Structure 1
Amino acid sequence: MSSPSATLTVWAAAWVSGRSAPDDLLDALRVWATRQSVAAGDPVTGGHTGLPWASEELADEVAGTGIMVLLKLIREAMGGPDAQLRLVLPIPGDVRGLPVGTEFGAAAIEAEEGLLAGTPGSLGTGIVPVWTDDDALLWQVYSTPIPLAPVPDMPLGEAEFSMREAVRDAADALQQLQTTRVGSGGVGPRELIEAELAGHTRHRYPDSMPLRARRILDTADQVAAILTVAEREPDSAPASSTALAAQEALLRPLWTAIRDARLAAVHAR
């Protein structure tokens, strides 16, 4: 699984629909971090929910309540017949699916992830995971408007085709970048990619998740691992601003394709 928000979205959707147990959801979240807690992201939400406010001091201490409260908050938000669970993966310049000008939106942009639970056009719940340590995760909760018309996801068939092409394009990009850089210190790209992928294999998908959606997520993780290796090899960093801009132009469309495919797969029912 690519992110804590994606894990929470797919498992909460399975739980709310009666296709998995609460313990399955909590076990899936605990794979991300042994220490997790929940707090309000702002004082107004704290007043509405009774959660402690995740002030800077609180976040540093990884305080708040236990993650069981996430189930209660999501169940309450999903009480209406038209309620939805939506993953958001915003980045600067592409904030699709976010409620404009909100505390939740700002936090989700900073974290580059989050999820919304509730009925479009009404007040719902936004949740953003924040890493406060290498193995400590604080789930910040916001009372936030749910956008009335969420951006439609691409069809699964298109997402699967996009990821098949992206595997080839990412491998080509890695090879192209390697030919213009210094070597990687004796460690081959295959080993580096496998190391990047190792963490994703610890995460399970709900049994009720469509098989095609699982394949898309697995392929997206593979492409992301290739791109991460292309970007992070310490001995092969771009040597100039021109080279950095060229790398960005080469890799950015592939990162966008990954995000689009992940959103389509996570929201598949």
Structure 2
Amino acid sequence: MDMRAEVWSPLQNASVWLAAWLHGLESADDLIDAWRDLGFSASLDVLSQARSGQFTDGEPRVRLVLSGPGEASGLPDGEREAIAVGSEHVLLGDGRWLALPAPLPAPQWLSPGDADALLTRATSEAANLVEASGYRTDALHSPRLTVGTLADFYDTPGLPGATPPRAAQLFARADRVAAIVETVTDRMGDHSLDPHLLSLWRHIRAARMAGVSYAAGEFARV
């Protein structure tokens, strides 16, 4: 199992860049450069499709769709992640632009504060369970000692300058927890903790989706 794919997606930052561009806060060139740095590519034709006709009440709506094992995403062909523009069109990780046969299910619409609180509580609960098992690792309580390089990776190539601080902080929290999970399971090669740590996946994804929705909403206010 690819642990990184479960806790991080380049579509997080890609979707924030797309939302910033749709609202005139970033140039197409900067958007394409950022996407290229993320290993994500889409043609100018796709950008044109995303801009034209994808407005509700005069405002483009962009959100991140992430799902995990056993979760229904509403996406076709078993896809588990996408950038949604409106409720009936998505941009997939391979750059394909698709019209959906039915609108996507409504998201949770968590606020950054709610998402952060859920992620913090889940992390604390996981740490308590791990401690109760008798396992000890600095990755749980001093993550900077072991996951700094991973956190740097997650943040590349960064976010648009207009990204609201609350969204950026939520992404940073999700990156930190994701780095802990990846460090303990993949880098340390210890999978005995998987039942405790894998429960964090859903909260990491929820935080990333909430951050994108919040950023896109704030861009619409500018």
TM-score above 0.5, yes or no: yes
The structure-2 alpha-carbon separation of the partners of 1:108 and 1:225, relative to structure 1 and needing over 3 Å to count, comes to: same
1:86 maps to 63
2:62 is paired with a residue whose SS is strand
The structure-2 alpha-carbon separation of the partners of 1:149 and 1:256, relative to structure 1 and needing over 3 Å to count, comes to: closer
Once superposed, what is the RMSD of the aligned Cα atoms? 3.0
CA–CA separation in structure 2 for the residues paired with 1:145 and 1:71:
21
Amino acid at match of 2:195: A
2:106 maps to 150
Deviations 1:117-143 (A, max 9, x none): 13x4xxx422211xxxxxxxx312222
Aligned residue runs from structure 1 range 164-179, under 5 A: 164-169=120-125, 179=135
- Which has the higher Rg, Structure 1 or Structure 2? 1
1:75 counterpart = 2:56: no
The structure-2 alpha-carbon separation of the partners of 1:211 and 1:190, relative to structure 1 and needing over 3 Å to count, comes to: closer
2:63 is paired with a residue whose SS is strand
The structure-2 alpha-carbon separation of the partners of 1:155 and 1:80, relative to structure 1 and needing over 3 Å to count, comes to: closer
2:208 maps to 262
With 215-224 and 8-17 compared, the bigger mean Cα shift is at 8-17
Q: Which has the higher strand share?
A: 1
2:199 is paired with a residue whose SS is helix
Amino acid at match of 2:211: A
Q: Percent identity?
A: 26
1:205 maps to 159
1:252 maps to 198
Aligned residue runs from structure 1 range 1-269, under 5 A: 2-33=8-39, 37-38=41-42, 67-81=43-57, 84-96=61-73, 98=74, 104-109=75-80, 113-118=81-86, 120=87, 124-129=88-93, 138-145=94-101, 147=103, 150-169=106-125, 179=135, 192-233=146-187, 235-238=189-192, 247-268=193-214, 269=217
The structure-2 alpha-carbon separation of the partners of 1:107 and 1:152, relative to structure 1 and needing over 3 Å to count, comes to: same
- Structure 2 residue runs without a partner (length 5+): 1-6, 218-222
CA–CA separation in structure 2 for the residues paired with 1:228 and 1:77:
40
Amino acid at match of 1:105: P
Amino acid at match of 2:91: I
The structure-2 alpha-carbon separation of the partners of 1:24 and 1:248, relative to structure 1 and needing over 3 Å to count, comes to: same
Using the TM superposition, give the Cα deviation of residue 71 of structure 1 relative to its aligned residue in structure 2, in angstroms.
1.3
Using the TM superposition, give the Cα deviation of residue 163 of structure 1 relative to its aligned residue in structure 2, in angstroms.
3.4
The structure-2 alpha-carbon separation of the partners of 1:231 and 1:264, relative to structure 1 and needing over 3 Å to count, comes to: same
CA–CA separation in structure 2 for the residues paired with 1:223 and 1:178:
20
Q: Does the 8 Å contact 2:151/2:175 carry over to 1?
A: yes
Using the TM superposition, give the Cα deviation of residue 267 of structure 1 relative to its aligned residue in structure 2, in angstroms.
0.4
Q: Does the 8 Å contact 1:170/1:223 carry over to 2?
A: no
Q: Does the 8 Å contact 1:86/1:267 carry over to 2?
A: yes
- Structure 1 residue runs without a partner (length 5+): 39-66, 99-103, 130-137, 182-187, 239-246
2:100 is paired with a residue whose SS is strand
Amino acid at match of 1:14: A
The structure-2 alpha-carbon separation of the partners of 1:259 and 1:72, relative to structure 1 and needing over 3 Å to count, comes to: same
Q: Does the 8 Å contact 1:89/1:259 carry over to 2?
A: yes
Q: Does the 8 Å contact 2:171/2:208 carry over to 1?
A: yes
The structure-2 alpha-carbon separation of the partners of 1:18 and 1:178, relative to structure 1 and needing over 3 Å to count, comes to: farther
Using the TM superposition, give the Cα deviation of residue 115 of structure 1 relative to its aligned residue in structure 2, in angstroms.
1.6
Q: How many residues align?
A: 204
With 75-84 and 7-16 compared, the bigger mean Cα shift is at 75-84
1:51 maps to none
